């Protein structure tokens, strides 16, 4: 078990290998399909992204509503492959870590190698488990997208497995 | 109507929080199989299976849905020919149950009103998908899948040649499962529909998914085919979480019906391990 503090440095990323079990601590951003589309629309119009993406982590997730006395609802990962078309450009802009579930395509793997970044797999369907790891939730942008809004989370002991390491090795 | 609505609503909310004990047992058996393996793949798959079991305990305790994708309501209605309720009343009661379950159960609002251009969220998690089926007797049975789309995106239909035989069926199913790979949250549940027309095969594949656990095929050849396909899916070593362990599927069910001399329609519906089903049987009259 490896405990990691976000944001991850390139040295830390380099030291991680596929199948390593990690626990994330600190801040990460949440974006899925429509938030990626909106971010691309900003970039295409030469506008800034809603957050400084360099060295950051994006978690592919869309939560269920928070019940009373909770800050967020169920919040497990969504299928990463749907974000494959978007990821290389964001990695080129300095995104360091992607977190989701399931395999990525060749373009993403090549971009991971080029940018020395990393892909972590969270455990699909485990939304109640991940709920217990979230300490703070902040909406950053695209509020109108409802469950697909761009969020910033503070997480503690957030469990993942290294699925594609910075050398392009993959568990899939 | 309140009695029916409360029963169905409660079953829907419960299904978002708890799995049927038979599915939990299959997950526990998968865990035992993985514990005997020594590979890195199996160790990672074991972490996933342990997390799934921990997640299920947490969702039951905290009432936070086990998965954030509380799905689309995929509703299968069996109406006895002697049942006294009108279709209009049944439909109204089902929609009301889904509406209340979405609100009270804190379901994610995952439905958009139009698929291509606007994709505006309906903000109600409605409409449900409802299919009606007429059966013998006087009972009304409503079965609902909370159908997540990580797995739904991995379903497939293939129109096989009439001479494809068992080998063609096995190959087509494995093709669809391998293409799905680690995407649909394995260990998966697999429903296969054979025969009918293209859309009937798709319907049958969902009926196979929601088949009662104590019901099996009447034709022994199809039981053997289910077992063979389950074995071969597990041989793919996609594994829990896609990490390459020895369990990729929890069960395979097949439903089959008559078809045309020129074809062999095949459909595969995949569900994630979070095989969420609600079911009620109602004998009385649903008053308006």
Average pLDDT over chain A reads 98
**pLDDT band at residue B288, thresholds of 50, 70 and 90?**
low
Q: What is the pLDDT of residues B23-75, one digit of tens each?
A: 999 999 999 999 999 999 999 999 999 999 999 999 999 999 999 999 999 99
Residue contact A101–B48, C-beta within 8 A: no
Which residue is it, tokens 């991680």?
A: A16
Residue contact B52–A127, C-beta within 8 A: no
Q: What is the pLDDT of residues A90-109, one digit of tens each?
A: 999 999 999 999 999 999 99
Q: How many other C-beta atoms can be found within 10 angstroms of the C-beta atom of residue B113?
A: 12
The yes-or-no answer on residue A16 being catalytic is: no
Residue contact B153–A101, C-beta within 8 A: no
Residue contact B51–A34, C-beta within 8 A: no
Question: Is B287's pLDDT higher than 90?
Answer: no
* Domain-located, residue A91: yes
Q: Is B275 helix (H, G, I), strand (E, B) or coil?
A: coil
Minimum mean pLDDT range among A139-143, B74-78, B246-250, B284-288: B284-288
| Residue A11 CB partners (closer than 8 Å, separation 6+) | none
Instruction: Give me the residue from B40, B66, B121 closest to A125, CB to CB.
Output: B66
Read off the CATH number of the domain in which A142 is found.
Answer: 3.20.130.10
Question: Is B139's pLDDT higher than 80?
Answer: yes
Q: Is B12 helix (H, G, I), strand (E, B) or coil?
A: helix
Residue contact B241–A101, C-beta within 8 A: yes
CB A123 within 8 A of CB A67: no
**Mutate: best of A59, A68, A77, A125, partner B, most B CBs <10 A:** A125
Question: Is B247's pLDDT higher than 70?
Answer: yes
**Mutate: best of A20, A33, A70, A74, partner B, most B CBs <10 A:** A74
Query: Which CA distances in Å does B211 have to B188, B191, B230?
Result: 15, 9, 16
Fold assignment, B149-271: 60s Ribosomal Protein L30; Chain: A; (3.30.1330)
Which residue is it, tokens 């761009």?
A: A150
The pLDDT score that the predictor gives to residue B254 is 98
* Domain-located, residue A30: yes
* Domain-located, residue A129: yes
Q: How many structural domains compose chain A? A: 1
Enter the tokens of residue B55.
Answer: 């997640």
* Domain-located, residue A105: yes
Instruction: Give me the residue from B54, B108, B182 closest to A102, CB to CB.
Output: B182
The pLDDT score that the predictor gives to residue A25 is 98
Structural domain boundaries enclosing A93? 2-164
* Per-domain boundaries in chain B: 149-271
Neighbour-count burial of A118, counting CB atoms closer than 10 A to its CB (0-12 exposed, 13-18 middle, 19+ buried): buried
**pLDDT band at residue B212, thresholds of 50, 70 and 90?**
confident
Q: What is the pLDDT of residues B86-102, one digit of tens each?
A: 999 999 999 999 999 99
Alpha-carbon gap, residue B171 to B176, rounded angstroms: 9
* Domain-located, residue A169: no
CB A158 within 8 A of CB A8: no
For A108: left if phi > 0, alpha if psi spans -120 to 50, otherwise beta; the answer is: alpha
Distance of CA B28 to the CA centre of its chain: 19
């Amino acid at each position: 078990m490896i405990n990691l503090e976000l944001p991850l440095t390139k040295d830390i990323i380099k030291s991680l290998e596929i199948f390593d079990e990690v626990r994330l601590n600190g801040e990460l951003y949440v974006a899925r399909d429509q938030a990626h589309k909106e971010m691309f629309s900003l970039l295409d119009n030469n506008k800034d992204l809603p957050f400084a993406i360099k060295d950051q982590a994006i978690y592919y997730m869309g939560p269920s509503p928070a019940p009373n006395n909770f800050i967020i609802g169920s919040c497990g990962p969504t299928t990463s492959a749907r974000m494959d078309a978007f990821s290389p450009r964001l990695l080129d802009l300095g995104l360091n870590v992607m977190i989701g579930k399931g395999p990525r395509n060749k373009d993403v793997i090549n971009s991971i190698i080029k940018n020395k970044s990393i892909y972590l797999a969270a455990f699909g369907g485990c939304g109640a488990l991940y709920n217990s790891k979230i300490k703070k939730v902040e909406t950053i942008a695209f509020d109108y997208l409802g469950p697909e809004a761009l969020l910033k989370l503070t997480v503690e002991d957030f469990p993942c497995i290294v699925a594609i390491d910075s050398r392009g090795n993959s568990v899939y | 109507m309140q009695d029916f609505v409360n029963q169905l609503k409660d079953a829907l909310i419960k299904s978002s929080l708890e799995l049927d004990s038979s599915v939990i047992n299959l997950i526990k058996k998968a865990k035992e199989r993985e514990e005997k393996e020594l590979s890195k793949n199996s160790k990672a798959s074991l972490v996933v299976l342990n997390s799934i079991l921990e997640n299920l305990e947490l969702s039951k305790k905290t009432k936070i849905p086990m998965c954030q994708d509380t799905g689309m309501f995929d509703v299968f209605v069996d109406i006895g020919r002697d049942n006294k309720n009108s279709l209009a009343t049944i439909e109204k009661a089902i929609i009301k149950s889904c509406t209340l379950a979405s609100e009270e159960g804190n379901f994610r609002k995952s439905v958009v009103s139009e698929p291509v251009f606007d994709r505006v969220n309906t903000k109600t998690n409605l409409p449900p998908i409802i299919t009606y089926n007429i059966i013998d007797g006087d009972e009304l049975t409503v079965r609902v899948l909370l159908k997540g789309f990580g797995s739904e995106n991995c379903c497939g239909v293939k129109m096989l040649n009439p001479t494809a035989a068992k080998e063609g069926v096995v190959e087509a199913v494995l093709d669809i499962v391998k293409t799905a790979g680690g995407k649909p949250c394995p260990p998966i549940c697999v429903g296969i529909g054979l025969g009918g027309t293209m859309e009937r095969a798709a319907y049958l594949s969902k009926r196979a998914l929601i088949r009662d656990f104590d019901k099996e095929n009447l034709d022994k050849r199809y039981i053997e085919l289910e077992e063979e396909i389950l074995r071969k899916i597990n041989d793919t070593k996609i594994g829990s979480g896609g990490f390459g362990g020895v369990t990729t599927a929890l069960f395979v069910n097949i439903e089959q019906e008559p078809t045309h001399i020129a074809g062999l329609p095949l459909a595969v519906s995949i569900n994630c391990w979070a095989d969420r089903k609600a079911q009620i049987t109602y004998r009385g009259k649903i008053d308006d």
